[in-house]
Every structure is written in structure tokens, then in C-alpha cells.
Structure 1
Amino acid sequence: MKSAVILYIPKGTTREIITQLQSQNYDVSKVDAYITRLFGFTQSGYIEMPSSTLSKGEFLYYLVKSKAATRKFTLIPGETSYFFLRDLASAYSFDEAKLELLYKLKFPYTDGVILANTYNLPYSTNEQNLIDILYNISMQEQKRLAIKLTGSYDEKKWFKVITKASIIQKEAANIKEMPIISGVIDNRIKIGMPLQMDGSLNYGKYSHIRVTPERIQTDKTTFNTYKYLGLPKEPSGSVSIDAIKAALNPSKVPYLYFMRNDKGTHDFSTTYQAHLSNVEKRQKTLDITDKAR
């Protein structure tokens, strides 16, 4: 028999559910209600059938045994809640402003709480329930990771680690660079040098916007690590486990500077003079590329 892969089962007795399916032109009868009861109690809500074509026996079995239908959403490393919430609102046809307000009321930080990962969320839900689910999953996982990686969990201290990890996430070209970037951050903080990292300014709605001199001059938040010493007051985006590990285990390097090279990775340097030399080298490469066009 044919079936929708995502099937909505109303609340009610097994007989009432079978009657409802009959009205939707499913080839089931009152006798099938008794057969279904042999498998257990029917679920309610959206369930996911394994196929759109099933034998009747399989169909009745999966009315009881199918898992609740879910939707998959992926929060990529470095992305902000500003865009993630808008993706959720679009998929569920929720009001963006309402979803964002509920998020702000529930979550302790604007970003960094929901880890970069793929989430299986209910197929059908409401704004408050969705925010509650994300909050519970996220805070439980943050606590689990903190205990696993540091031996204890103090929310304020832990999210300082996440804040550092969020900058590492945005600045590093790859996983290999993450501990080195972490070391550079520590080196700068140790000598009272501003971090001056563009990644911290790619927060919220600015996640995909190039950081310009004007932004650096006008942004008055603590995300502006050109103006304010040390780490921002909160994370600037989502983080991966690799970025967290790098934040906790920085490489012992002498570097204070780094810049992206023509290979897409970074050249690291200890002195400002060496850094300027790397900048000049990169600029020459760009000039040659422009002339070749």
C-alpha cells in the first residue's frame, strides 16, 4: 500500500486513528485496528515511515514502531545564531522576531551556546518548544564537554573558553592552525597587546560581512578587539570541538602576528618587521594576479 513518508497521526484510540486513516483513503479497516494493537500502542504526531510503499502488515507495524519525524538542521562552525534562527524560522514558518526574542530570554549568551553540529529537531513544533529543546540539548552538551575536557563545570569560566574558541574558529584556516592561533591570542593578552582580530567583529548579523576600517572605527562593542584589550565579553559565533580543544591547549609558540597567504593558510611571525615583510610579499602576489587578468 502507498503511504506518505511523513505521516501525521492524530491523538486518539487505535480504532479512532484507523478510522481517520480510512477517511484519508488508506486501505485499512476496523479489523486492522485489532492487528495494530498486537504491535503496541499507536503514536501521535508526525512519524516517519521507512518507505512510501509498504505491505499492509508493515504499515500497521510502523504505525506503532516508527520514530518521530524530525528535520535536520546544521549549524556550521563560525556561524552565528542570527542566521541560524532565521533558517529555523523559514523552515517552520515562524515569526523571526518572536523566535529571536524567545532565544534571548532563554540563552545566557547571544552566541556560542549552540555548538556547531547537525540537529534532529521535531518535524512540527512551536517557537517556545523549539527554543527549549535547543537550550536543553546545548547546555547539557556544554556541561558534558567542560567536565570531560577540564574536569569541572563553571558556566562563567567555561564560556570564556568558548569565547576564545569562537575567535579561533573564525581566524584559523584549518584545524592544524587552531592551537597556533590560540597561542597567538595568549601571547598578545600576556603582554597587554590588543588582539586586533577581524573574526571577533564577524558577530551576529555581521557574520558574512568583510571587516572594514570604518567598522573598526565605529563599532563600540567589546567584539572590537582593535579597541578593547583581551577577549570579548561573549562568544562571536558557534564553535567546533576542535576549536574548544585548541582554546584549552594552545601551542607554545613565540608568534604575535599572522596573515593569510596565497595558499589560503597563514604565515606566522614573531616581530612586527617580519609581519610587514609577509604583508609586502602577499601584496606583490596580489598585484601580479591583478596584472594577469
Structure 2
Amino acid sequence: MFLALCCGVILYLTTPIVMPQVINVPKGSIKSIITYLNTIENVPPEQFGRFDALVMRFVGTPQSGFVDLGVENPTRLEFFKRLSTAKAATREVTLIPGETLYFFLQDVARMYGLDAQKLQESYDAYFHLPEGVIVPETYKLPMGLSEDALMRLLAQISYKWHEESAIKLMGVYDRDKWFYYVAIASIVQKEAANIEEMPIVAAVVFNRLKLGMPLQMDGSLNYGIYSHQKITPERIRNDTNPCNTYKYKGIPPYPCTSASLQAIKAVLEPADVEYLYFVRNKNGTHTFSKTYQEHRDNF
């Protein structure tokens, strides 16, 4: 009986489990860590149980933060050992609100010694929109990840953030509806001079939409490689990208840049104003107006 029990335990501990190479272990009790391990994407939801908590206590306390297991799908015992001893070397990279995916991937490639084109290909595989899904944030990511693994990790982090933020702000996560608001927020992010202006700029967007007016906002044309370029009349006339809000009415089909939580909140709670126009002042902020004549007088 005892021998059979020992054989069963050995078999249990030496059987491979389903686990990605890099995981982000939260701080907390062993029980909470077990719960987290069962919620990792593409991992069986009941892979770990009470016996694993006992093994974890025996082997050693798990580390928090990014942990590089060194291999995918290790044996159960190997996993617990590495969970308590292996920790990934990390570097920080920041996606600034209003910045585009193109420049973010250039930064990631430089910081982590990766190929920007392969990063883009992996992005296309894991994200449903060409822009605006990765959350503008400072990421402390492990070194040694492949382009595919890094993008997969950013997708997991970003989509979780979007879902949690939508539920917190709207009570429900309707992906298409949420990213419609993110698309508006990406324009607000580029146009507003500061956080205080964001609800007013958002109101201008909605007021123009109600009247069927084109948005005609330069910030929407700061997409992709044009993120830091001044908008010219030639670009406005000839650019056929859907982010050209001079050429196309309505909201672009996807965010044109990254958008902060403050910009999204401003879109969900725009100011109660009737403004349709705004122009930048010498001090960098904007003067808002209701009529075109007022707008012209403000130049």
C-alpha cells in the first residue's frame, strides 16, 4: 500500500504539466498563487490542487514577478523547484500615451535585442486591431524571450487590462464597443494639451458626430510612422489611411495611437459643452468655440 502510494506520488511529480516558459507570479499566499496558476491562459483550469500547495511549501516559497522557467511544459516537481529559484533578468520599456505601435516596437527591439519585423508579425498574430491595443505603460519584461513569446505576454497583459477597465467603467466588457471608445480616446489623447482638456475635446468629437461633421483633427494623422511629423495640407489631401479624419467622416475603425485611461474616461464622460472648434494658443493649451466665426477670430 505504502509502496503504491509512493509510486503514485513519484508519477504525479514527474509528469509534465502545461505551462509557458515565462509567467508573472503575483505576490500573495500559496493558496492565491495556486489559484493564479489555474487561470493562466491556455493552462488547464484544474491543473493544480491542494496537494500541489503542500509540495510548494516543501520545495520552497515561490518568487513573485516574472519568472523564467527556462523551458515550456516542465515536470511538476521541476516546475515547483524553478518557481522558487529562477527569476528572469528584466529591462524596462515604456509605451507613452499617444505613441504608436511602430515606435514602440522599435524601442522593444532595441532594448531586448529582437527583430522589429518579427515583433510586428507576432503582434499581428495575437492582437485583433493594428493599433491601440497594447496599454500605454512601463513594462518590466524578462530578457531572453523570443519575439513571439514577448508579444504573447503583452497580449495577455493588455487584454486583461482592457477587460477589467471596461467592467470597472462600464459594468460590462463588450470588446467592439470598448475599442470604439478607445479609438475616440486615441484622438483625444493626441489633441488635448493636458488631462483637464480631455473631456472638452471629447465633447467636441461627439458634438461633431451628432451634426454629421467630419472630425478634421490633425492628431488622427499622427499614426504609425507619422507619429512625430507635422501634418501638412498635402498629407491631408493625399493620405488614404482610415485615420485621416479630414477625408473620412466618423470614427476610424481602430485606434490611431495608444490611449491612456484618462483619455478613455474623458470619452466615457465628456464635458457638457456645445463647442465644435478649438485652436492652439501660444501657451500650448486650446481656445474652444461654438461657431466657425468665433473659431476664425481665435486664430
TM-score between both structures, scaled by the size of structure 2: 0.72
* Identity over aligned pairs, percent: 54
Secondary structure at 1:160's aligned position in 2?
A: helix
Q: Does 2:137 correspond to 1:113?
A: no
Structure 1 CA distance for aligned equivalents of residues 205 and 68 of structure 2: 49
Q: 1:150 aligns with which of 159, 162, 170?
A: 170
Local SS of the residue matching 1:225: coil
Return structure 1 stretches of 4+ with deviation > 2 angstroms: 38-47, 63-69
Count of matched residue pairs? 227
Q: Which position in structure 1 is the counterpart of 2:92?
A: 72
List aligned pairs for 1:9-24, cutoff 5 A.
none
- The C-alpha deviation readout for 1:242-279, integer Å capped at 9, x for no partner, is 00100100111110000100111000001101110111
Q: Secondary structure of 1:209's match?
A: coil
Residue pairs, 1:112-191, within 5 angstroms: 112-191=132-211
Question: Where does residue 276 of structure 2 map in the other structure?
Answer: 256
How has the CA–CA distance of structure 1 residues 99 and 66 changed in structure 2, closer, same or farther, with 3 Å as cutoff? closer
Residue matched to 2:19: none
Aligned partner of 1:270 in structure 2 is 290
Distance in structure 2 (CA, Å) of the matches to 1:42 and 1:263: 52
- Provide the C-alpha distance between the structure 2 equivalents of 1:209 and 1:104, rounded to a whole number of angstroms: 25
Give the letter for the 2:117 counterpart.
A
Give the CA deviation at 1:164.
0.4
- Whether the aligned pair in 2 keeps the contact of 1:194 and 1:226 (CA below 8 Å) is yes
1:196 corresponds to which letter in structure 2? Q
Q: Against the structure 1 CA distance between its residues 278 and 68, is the aligned structure 2 distance closer, same or farther, given a 3 Å change threshold?
A: same
Cα 1:242/1:42, change in 2 over 3 Å: closer
In structure 2, list runs of 5 or more residues that go unmatched: 1-57, 71-82
Mapped to 1, the partners of 2:100 and 2:216 lie a distance apart of 20
Structure 1 CA distance for aligned equivalents of residues 59 and 127 of structure 2: 41
- Distance in 2 of aligned mates of 1:176 and 1:81: 25
Alignment gaps of 5+ in structure 1 = 1-37, 48-62, 280-293
RMSD between superposed Cα atoms in Å = 2.2
Q: C-alpha distance in 2, partners of 1:137/1:190?
A: 35
The alignment's TM-score, normalised by the length of structure 1, stands at 0.73
Query: Which one of the candidate residues 213, 229, 247 is aligned to 1:209?
Result: 229
